């Protein structure tokens, strides 16, 4: 399992080396957001977590602002490997960057 910063780096590298060009399509956006919803849960809290994840990885919380290459990198990652656990590492890293501290149990 990768740490949040490793996941961000890897997804950015994959996106940056992709041959895909242009803005995300509606179909890609729906598929990617649906996959993220399955991992993060639905409802308002899932939407907030999705926006935090996208902001952490790509610097923008809106899936409408992604490129085809960004979306493809996320979709490929979500459909293979450790996405269910790695997404939470990215969210923890987002929180740390925004001054949220982890509470000891």
| pLDDT single digits (tens) 36-79 | 999 998 888 889 999 999 999 999 999 999 999 999 999 999 99
Give the torsion sign (CA, 86, 91, 95, 100). negative
More confident residue, 14 or 101: 14
Q: Is 66 exposed, middle or buried (0-12, 13-18, 19+ CB in 10 A)?
A: buried
Q: How far apart are CA 71 and CA 62, in angstroms?
A: 12
Q: How far apart are CA 42 and CA 60, in angstroms?
A: 20
Q: Which two tokens stand for residue 92?
A: 């923890």
- Worst-scoring range by mean pLDDT, 26-30, 37-41, 56-60, 84-88? 84-88
Q: How far apart are CA 24 and CA 72, in angstroms?
A: 9
Instruction: Encode pLDDT of 4-17 as tens digits.
Output: 989 999 999 999 99
Give the pLDDT of residue 104: 56
Domain residue ranges in the chain: 4-97
């Amino acid at each position: 399992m990768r740490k949040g910063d490793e996941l961000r780096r890897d997804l950015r590298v994959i996106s940056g080396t992709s041959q895909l060009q242009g803005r995300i399509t509606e179909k890609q956006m729906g598929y990617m957001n649906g996959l993220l919803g399955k991992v993060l849960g639905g409802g308002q809290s899932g939407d907030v977590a999705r926006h935090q994840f996208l902001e952490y990885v790509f610097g923008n919380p809106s899936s409408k602002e992604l490129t085809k290459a960004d979306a493809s990198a996320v979709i490929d990652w979500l459909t293979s490997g450790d996405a269910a656990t790695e997404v939470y590492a990215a969210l923890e890293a987002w929180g740390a960057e925004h001054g949220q501290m982890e509470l000891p149990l």
